[in-house]
């Protein structure tokens, strides 16, 4: 037989047992309830079929503490993202939100609203409105306005906060409350939804790529709240485009000081691949580095731009601030002055005799020929050819008397002196090779061409090459992060000796 305890004592034991058994279920219920509050908010998630809905209080919707509602809707497709954020964080990160939510702006809007011309109002203090509005806390609401024409730039525009779906009074019919019990027909709709998901192919909308505008705004607000932006970590070309559009958006809302370091950190993770891309597209990365306030990217791109100048001028004119163009021009002038000084030294290079006298045709005819050949080579490769002497062109619009159109004289292309100086810095057979020296000696009249003469002439030219290599060392310096190989040139046809000092960065002014 099974004996039961007395009711006097057994009741207490049973109640304690039930209490202990109920505690885990209560804790698990609370844990599951709190777990539902940390789920990421999705604008199109359906809450039908659940017995209750717990509002979240995390990014991107801070239901309990948020006071700035932002609605970003795509231009096509009807997709939208909603945010309920904090005025304090937005104002700290963006000058646009700092001004738009300031007391002066709000007071001006309220005065205009009192006169019938404003759109911003204070949420009324109603006991039944719930949320923040019931405490009389001010709300702001922004919506993305795409403008009227294709040339208009989409911009967040401040709207009446009373039309918010998160709280406050509205003139339209309020949406159904999500925290109410479900209707009897909910199960039918849920079953149909499950049936469609199992038996029908996914819609094309689910396969469409993420809208760039929605992505950029989401990255902007994610960085405001110290979340990493969703940028491509593998393909550097895609990462560049995403970072560029994010920086332009941050520039619109005066938030470059916050967004720039994040973009700089993301791109620098590519390391060597980034520097190779900068070498391919220096003007583009110069503009990006300026927006991101990245000293590494900006100085790397600037060194390439100065070395290739003026090749990058069409891509920078009217697209960069005047301070950036002034910095480029200053660095180009400094490089030109350095090249001119070194060119003068090259033309003054000379050989001496065994007595220490300068070589001339009287005391060292063969050495003087070597100096003449070297100077002639430097002159031909560092100065543009003279313009040809032609007859005056016809005055009848380029047509001769016979009616045929005369060809226009093309402007001579600028000589890439950077390549020439790299050859001088390399020496050896990089220029004036042995075969060319032999041809020169054979064509010189009155000179006996033999093996001894060739050897003496080669030694004289080699000595001049050593002197020239020491002379051009200041131009052979490399201030790039890009690995240019053992020789230092890396095949680049321009000079990379431009150094960007701390005082040169234009955003520190």
Summarize pLDDT for 250-307 with one digit per residue, the tens: 999 999 999 999 999 999 999 999 999 999 999 999 999 999 999 999 999 999 999 9
C-beta atoms surrounding 339 within 10 Å: 20
Binning the chain into helix, strand and coil, the percentages to the nearest 5 are 50, 5, 45
**Contact yes or no for 215/243 (Cβ under 8 A):** no
Task: Report how far apart, in Å, the C-alpha atoms of 478 and of each of 135, 218, 419, 483 are.
Answer: 64, 40, 14, 10
Is 167 among the domain residues?
Answer: no
Count of domains for the chain: 1
Tokens (6 digits) for 42: 């999705």
- Give residue 147's pLDDT: 85
Percent of the chain predicted with pLDDT > 70: 67
Is 272 among the domain residues?
Answer: yes
**Residue 304 and residue 276: Cα distance in Å, rounded?**
11
The range of the structural domain enclosing residue 277 comes to 212-332
**Residue 122 and residue 352: Cα distance in Å, rounded?**
91
Task: Report how far apart, in Å, the C-alpha atoms of 38 and of each of 57, 58, 61 are.
Answer: 8, 7, 11
Is 239 among the domain residues?
Answer: yes
Tokens (6 digits) for 163: 């039309």
| E strand or H helix at 156 | strand 155-159
Using DSSP's 3-state secondary structure scheme, residue 29 falls into helix
**Contact yes or no for 164/141 (Cβ under 8 A):** yes
Query: 347-352 contacts: CB < 8 A, separation 24 or more?
Result: 347/375, 347/378, 347/379, 349/374, 349/464, 349/467, 349/468, 349/471, 351/460, 351/463, 351/464
Check whether 31 has a pLDDT greater than 80: no
Tokens (6 digits) for 334: 């400094």
pLDDT tens readout for residues 329-363:
999 999 999 999 999 999 999 999 988 899 999 88
Phi/psi of residue 407, nearest 5 degrees: -65, 140
Is 316 among the domain residues?
Answer: yes
Is 264 among the domain residues?
Answer: yes
Is 366 among the domain residues?
Answer: no
Residues with Cβ within 8 Å of residue 193, at least 6 apart in sequence: 46
List the strands of the sheet with 68-73, edge to edge. Answer: 57-58, 61-62, 80-85, 68-73, 140-145, 155-159
**Residue 419 and residue 431: Cα distance in Å, rounded?**
11
C-beta atoms surrounding 90 within 10 Å: 25
pLDDT tens readout for residues 182-200:
333 334 333 333 433 333 3
Tokens (6 digits) for 74: 């795509």
| E strand or H helix at 421 | helix 417-426
pLDDT tens readout for residues 428-450:
999 999 999 999 999 888 788 88
Using DSSP's 3-state secondary structure scheme, residue 294 falls into coil
**Residue 248 and residue 92: Cα distance in Å, rounded?**
19
Is 480 among the domain residues?
Answer: no
| Stretch 394-408: mean pLDDT | 52
| Stretch 404-426: mean pLDDT | 70
DSSP string, 236-274: HHHHHHHHHHHHHHHHHTT-HHHHHHHHHHHHHTTTHHH
Is 231 among the domain residues?
Answer: yes
**Residue 152 and residue 150: Cα distance in Å, rounded?**
6
């Amino acid at each position: 037989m099974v004996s039961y305890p007395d009711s006097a004592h057994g009741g207490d034991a049973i109640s304690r047992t039930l209490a202990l058994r109920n505690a885990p279920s209560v804790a698990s219920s609370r844990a599951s309830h709190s777990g539902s509050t940390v789920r990421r908010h999705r604008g199109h998630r359906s809450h039908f079929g659940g017995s209750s809905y717990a509002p979240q209080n995390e990014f991107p919707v801070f239901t309990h503490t948020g006071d700035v509602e932002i609605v970003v809707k795509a231009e096509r497709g009807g997709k939208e993202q909603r945010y309920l954020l904090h005025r304090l964080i937005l104002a700290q990160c963006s000058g646009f939100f700092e001004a738009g939510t300031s007391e002066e702006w709000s007071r001006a809007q309220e005065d205009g609203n009192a006169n019938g011309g404003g759109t911003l109002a204070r949420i009324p203090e109603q006991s039944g409105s719930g949320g923040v509005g019931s405490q009389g806390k001010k709300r702001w609401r922004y919506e993305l306005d795409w403008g009227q024409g294709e040339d208009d730039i989409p911009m967040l525009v401040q709207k009446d906060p009373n039309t918010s779906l998160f709280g406050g009074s509205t003139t339209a019919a309020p949406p159904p409350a999500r925290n109410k019990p479900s209707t009897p027909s909910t199960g039918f709709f849920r079953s149909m939804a499950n049936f469609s998901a199992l038996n029908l192919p996914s819609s094309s909308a689910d396969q469409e790529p993420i809208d760039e505008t929605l992505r950029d705004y989401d990255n902007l607000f994610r960085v405001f709240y110290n979340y990493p932006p969703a940028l491509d970590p593998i393909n550097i070309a895609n990462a560049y485009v995403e970072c560029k559009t994010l920086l332009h958006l941050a520039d619109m809302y005066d938030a470059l000081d916050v967004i720039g370091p994040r973009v700089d950190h993301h791109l620098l993770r590519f390391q060597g691949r980034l520097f190779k891309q900068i070498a391919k597209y220096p003007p583009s990365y110069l503009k990006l580095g300026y927006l991101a306030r990245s000293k590494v990217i900006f100085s790397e791109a600037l060194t390439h731009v100065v070395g290739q100048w003026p090749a990058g001028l069409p891509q920078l004119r009217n697209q960069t601030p005047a301070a950036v163009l002034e910095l480029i021009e200053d660095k180009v002038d400094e490089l030109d002055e350095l090249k001119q000084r070194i060119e003068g030294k090259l033309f003054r290079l000379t050989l001496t005799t065994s007595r220490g006298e300068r070589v001339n045709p009287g005391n060292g005819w063969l050495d003087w020929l070597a100096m003449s050949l070297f100077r002639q080579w430097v002159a031909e490769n560092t100065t543009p050819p003279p313009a040809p002497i032609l007859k005056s062109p016809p005055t009848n619009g380029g047509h001769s008397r016979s009616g045929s159109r005369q060809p226009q004289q093309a402007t001579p292309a600028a000589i890439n002196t950077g390549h020439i100086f790299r050859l001088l810095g390399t020496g050896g057979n990089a220029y004036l090779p042995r075969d060319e020296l032999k041809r020169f000696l054979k064509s010189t009249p009155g000179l006996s061409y033999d093996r001894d003469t060739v050897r003496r002439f080669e030694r004289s030219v080699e000595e001049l090459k050593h002197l020239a290599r020491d002379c051009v060392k200041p131009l052979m310096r490399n201030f790039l992060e890009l690995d240019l190989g053992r020789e230092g040139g890396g095949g680049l046809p321009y000079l990379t000796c431009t150094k960007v000092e701390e005082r040169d960065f234009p955003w520190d002014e």
